[in-house]
Amino acid sequence: MSKATRSRELSVDIPLSQEGEDTTHLSIIDHNGMAVANTYTLERLWGSRIVVKNMGFLLNNNMFGFNLFPGVTDINGTIGTPANTIAPGKRMVSSMTPTIVARDGRVKLVTGSPGTRAIPNTLLCILVSLFDFGMPARAAIEASRFSHEWFPDQISFETPELYPDLVTSLNEMGHAIVRTGPRPQGDAHSIWVVGPNHYVGVADGRRNGKAAALGY
């Protein structure tokens, strides 16, 4: 009676899950090969608190995705181009990159990621690893990633200590290398299509998520 009971202690019979606070990406494919790459974000808690009628999802409330200072582009990453100026009927600029790769009209890869302005770089790393270097899907997702967002003028790299010679070479060329942080780059849950009805689902271990399959 003299000490507050923590709420967690009252949840013995109610398992608590750790919810993410980031943009969410889902990669889905059915037994007919129909695929969906869905990247979704609310920004602040509950977004705008407006649910689209008969659709069941909340609308984003992030005005910061627009240009807050028209004409001001600086080395810290503020982009002041007219295309991103707030005006009626306009969409904010977004780096979200839900991706479906097809070959000969058939889905080969479904992927995407959270990560704000590093998202396109995350997807490029995965695509190059898979298609140019022929890496297995799991290895391509787990491989170290890097990002250059124009401004700030630097390369963010997840594991620079593993590639000292590469980092030295880039430094000698004039590139500034910084460690990605405080969190890893992206969370790219993906599906690699090996062949008809042969899918490999890969959950990115950087944040959270899992791969799951339902039998038909």
118 Cβ contact list (under 8 Å, min separation 6): 95, 145, 147, 149, 156, 185, 186
| CA–CA distance, 122 with 94 (Å, rounded to integer) | 15
* Separation CA 37–CA 99 (nearest Å): 6
In the chain, the amino acid numbered 35 is A
Q: Catalytic residue, from 5, 23, 111, 122: name it.
A: 23
Euclidean distance between CA atoms 65 and 91, whole angstroms? 9
Q: E strands of the chain, at which residues?
A: 24-29, 35-40, 99-103, 106-111, 146-147, 155-157, 177-179, 190-195, 198-202
Does 23 participate in catalysis according to the annotation? yes
For the purposes of burial, counting CB atoms within 10 Å of the CB of 192, is it exposed (0-12), middle (13-18) or buried (19 or more)?
buried
Catalytic residue ranges: 23
